[in-house]
């Protein structure tokens, strides 16, 4: 489907990816672009980036665990998470969910997995993560707020404030 999208579509929308798992998907899209004789500029590679912005480290970690566990039983999730090196971890969480042990499923989701699938941390950390996605081939990063405390309005507001700050804040290189 990614190859076909490169051949005929205006763009692709990727999800459940990390900067490590993106290059093969982007290459497949670009193979389609080349096969159709198109230019790279004709296809936008967009990617949904779940984020939990704010100062509460523990809340953002729990939010990431909930995010991952929410996908654990999805039929395609195993393959997508495995592409980032987390197939076994997700399979363990899925089995615990099937056994009725949600707390156990949450507990097996490690910080590395949370950090790979959820943008969190301070502004420089989140900005660096966005840039890693761009370097992996994403033209349009789409920040998707995930409220760990259930307050969607606050999560959306923090995300809008963060994005607004990106437009005016210098990068680390610019401020050095």
Cα 6 to chain centroid, rounded: 21
Pairwise CA distance, residues 23 & 68, whole Å: 22
Q: Output the six-digit token pair for 108.
A: 């097996």
User: What pLDDT sits at residue 167?
Assistant: 67
* Secondary structure of residue 12 in the 3-state scheme: strand
Q: Output the six-digit token pair for 156.
A: 């959306």
Asked if CATH classification 3.40.50.2300 holds for the domain at 2-175, the reply, yes or no, is: no
Assess contact for 37 and 50: CB atoms under 8 A.
no
pLDDT string in tens for the chain (176-residue length): 999 999 999 999 999 899 999 999 999 999 999 999 999 999 999 999 999 988 888 999 999 999 999 999 998 888 889 988 999 999 999 999 999 999 999 999 999 999 999 999 878 889 999 999 999 999 999 999 999 888 999 989 989 988 888 766 555 455 44
Q: Output the six-digit token pair for 2.
A: 């990614």
User: What pLDDT sits at residue 123?
Assistant: 81
Q: Output the six-digit token pair for 21.
A: 């798992």
Q: What is the pTM of this model?
A: 0.85
User: What pLDDT sits at residue 175?
Assistant: 47
């Amino acid at each position: 489907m990614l190859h076909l999208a490169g051949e005929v579509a205006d763009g692709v929308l990727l999800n459940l990816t990390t900067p490590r798992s993106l290059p093969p998907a982007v290459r497949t899209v670009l193979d389609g672009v080349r096969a159709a004789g198109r230019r790279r500029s004709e296809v936008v590679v967009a990617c949904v980036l779940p984020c939990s912005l704010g100062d509460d480290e523990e809340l953002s970690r729990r939010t990431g665990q909930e995010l991952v566990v929410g996908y654990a039983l999805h039929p395609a999730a195993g393959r997508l998470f495995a592409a980032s090196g987390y197939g076994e971890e997700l399979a363990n969480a899925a089995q615990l969910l099937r056994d009725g042990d949600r707390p156990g499923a949450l507990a097996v989701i490690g910080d590395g997995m949370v950090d790979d699938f959820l943008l969190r941390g301070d502004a420089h950390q989140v900005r660096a993560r966005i840039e890693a996605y761009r370097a992996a081939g994403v033209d349009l990063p789409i920040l998707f707020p995930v409220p760990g405390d259930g307050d969607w309005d606050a999560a959306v507001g923090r995300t809008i404030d963060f994005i607004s700050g990106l437009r005016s804040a210098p990068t680390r290189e610019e401020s050095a």
